[in-house]
Each structure stands twice: as C-alpha cells, then as structure tokens.
Amino acid sequence: MPKTRRLAIAIALVCALTAVAAPGTAFADPVPTPSTTAPDRPRTLDEVSRQIDDLYRRAAAATDAYNLAEEQTKEQSAQIVRLAQDIVKGQEKIKRLKDQAGATARMQYRNGGLPPGAQMMLSGDPEGFLDGAGALRQGQQAAQGLLGELNRTQADLAAYSADATAQWKNLEANRVKKEAAKKDITEKIAAAEKLQSQLKEQERERLAELERKKEFDSQTAWLSTGVLKDINGSASEQGRKAVKFVTDQIGKKYIWGAAGPDTFDCSGLTSQAWLAAGHPVPRTSQEQWARLPHVAIKDMRPGDLVIYFADATHVGMYIGDGAIVHAPRPGRTVTITGAGSMPILGVVRPDK
C-alpha cells in the first residue's frame, strides 16, 4: 500500500477513534429521564446501547441465515434446471433406443422365422447363408446391447427424477428458512430503531459517543498488545484489487441481504470484492470462516478477511495499518474502522 494511502488511513482512524476521547467529553450514563424510563425498555443509555447492539447482532445472525438460504436456493434452482434438461435428454434417448430395438426385432423376425437348417437348405447358397448367419448373430448382439443401454438410460432417468424431487423439497425448505429469517431480521431491526427513536436528540448524540468510545477502547486495547508491529505482510495482486474494491464502496449504505452495486451487507461487500478480484468466495461470513484457509492475526495482509464474534456473524476486509473496511449494520454506511474495534474470531485468506 502506498505511503500516502497508509497515512490517510491512519489519519482517518485517529479522527474517527480519538475524537470521542477529547477532554471534557463525558461517557457516563445520563441521569434517567422520562424518555429513558419507559417500562417497556432499558433505563439508562448504557443499557439502551447494549440492547441495541444485541438486537443488531441477532439481526446479523439472521441475515447470515437468510443469505445462506438464498445461495442454496439459487444452487438448487440451477440444479433442478440441469436435472430437467437431463430428463428430457433421457426421454429422447429412450425413444430413439426403442425405435432402434423395434427395427432390429422386426428384421430378426423376418429373417429368423425358419429353423437354421431349413434356411440353409432353401437358400441354394450355403456359403452365403453362413455369411448371413454371422451377420444375424452380430445383429442379435447389437440388439442385446441396445436393450442394455435402454435399461441403463431408464435407470438414469429414474435417478434424475428422484434427485429432482429431493431438490424441490430442499428448495421449499430453504424458502421457509428465508421467510423465517426475513421476519426475524425485520423484527430485530424495527425493535432497535424503535429504541433509538424514543431517545431525545441529546441522548442519541451521547449514545453515538458511547458506541464510538466502545470501539475506541477495544481498538486501543488490541493495539496495546503490540500486535501491529508483527503485521507487515504485503497484499497479493488479487488482494490489492479486492482492497481497491472495498475502499471504492466507502460511503454506500448498509442494507441487509445486499451485495451491491449500490448497497451492501458485511459479507455482501467482502464476497463482491473478491469476485471483482477474480477469486470468488462464499457469500456469508460464517461460510467464509468455515471454508476459507485460516491465517494467524500476526500473518494477515491487506485483502484478508477478519471474522468477528464467536458465531462468525460479521466480517470486514483488512486494508493495512490496523484498519478494516466493513459494512457495519443498518443505518450505517461502508466505512474504515480499527481491525480490533470488535471481538476478532480469526482471519481467513481467500487466495492462499
């Protein structure tokens, strides 16, 4: 990464994470007010913050479930189309084989109505008869081959039909999963937005300060371990392309289930970045964690994906200098933040 770009990232991180630590800024919970003491929600801003975080985290988990079901639905739909094409080809082949077998049977009937000895006596040409008998045996063998191929094709056709039935059942199950996840997502986001809407303007500002301070404290604690001095890997050619893609998306809105070009969720951003780099990766953060090669944090390089939380429900792309680009959550935009600003589960490398 060019020096000027690293400097710009560092400045952005300092501005984003240290502004909340300026002298005179208060982070203690405010004295409860009528707007924060309603019986159906938390009493303090700190409690509000924790509940909002929990709702968005649960919405993120449901989003991963939705995205996985969506990907599986696409794969199953494509498989059903392929199976339908195979079934049509199989039916056409069976018809062709039956026609050939029928023609062979009719020919054998015409030529084989008399016993072989009688045919030889009546032929007047014993040598020609023997040649014809050899050809007849070859025809009989060909007929048997046709029947064998016909039986195999019919067995294949039955297997295709059974597979298509199974795929239809899976498709329907995934549609049910998608609808359940969608309902869960919308409910969690609506509940979080309701909590925020019940706050006064000043309280919303202080809530945002609390959230920024939480990220700042987490990033500071991560950096204080000295981890950054060991992280000096250079991006691969594909990694540089992926980094360019995510940085070009900064400022675009987070929308759950979105994978561009104008809106993204967290794994929609990272999967599209690596697709643009010419190296497709799984769609969801949980699948990225499960299926991509793991690397140690000290060995990570720009382009690697940092997976967050114990259930792998969030992901960002490391861009160097202790920073990631990610799509945070509903109501936010794609942004740069500290790689240690959330609990790190681990790091995966798409192009290892």
**Which structure tokens are listed for 202?**
């000043």
Amino acid at 266: C
pLDDT(103) > 60: yes
Question: Residues 6 or more apart from 98 whose CB is under 8 A from it?
Answer: 150
pLDDT for position 151:
77
pLDDT(114) > 60: no
pLDDT band at 207 (very low <50, low <70, confident <90, very high): very high
More confident residue, 133 or 313: 313
Average pLDDT value for the chain: 82
CA 94 to chain centroid = 39
Range scoring the smallest mean pLDDT among 130-134, 149-153, 253-257, 324-328: 130-134
Helix (H, G, I), strand (E, B) or coil at 259: strand
Asked if residue 349 lies in contact with residue 296, where contact means CB atoms within 8 angstroms, the answer is no
pLDDT for position 4:
41
Report strand pairing: 335-338 vs 294-295. unpaired
pLDDT for position 143:
56
The model's pLDDT over 250-271, given as tens digits with 9 standing for 90+, comes to: 999 999 999 999 999 999 999 9
Rounded to an integer, what distance in angstroms lies between the CA atom of residue 274 and that of residue 242?
A: 5
Phi, psi of 118 (to 5 degrees): -65, -40
Asked if residue 102 lies in contact with residue 70, where contact means CB atoms within 8 angstroms, the answer is no
More confident residue, 339 or 151: 339
Helix (H, G, I), strand (E, B) or coil at 295: strand
pLDDT(101) > 60: yes
Q: What percent of the chain has pLDDT over 70?
A: 74
pLDDT band at 331 (very low <50, low <70, confident <90, very high): very high
The model's pLDDT over 15-36, given as tens digits with 9 standing for 90+, comes to: 444 443 333 333 334 434 434 3
pLDDT(96) > 60: yes
More confident residue, 146 or 336: 336
pLDDT for position 230:
86
Tell the residue number behind the tokens 């909590």, with chain if given. 195
pLDDT(146) > 80: no
pLDDT for position 127:
56
Show which residues are catalytic: 266, 314, 326
* Distances 309 to 57, 82, 179 between C-alpha atoms, Å: 9, 38, 25
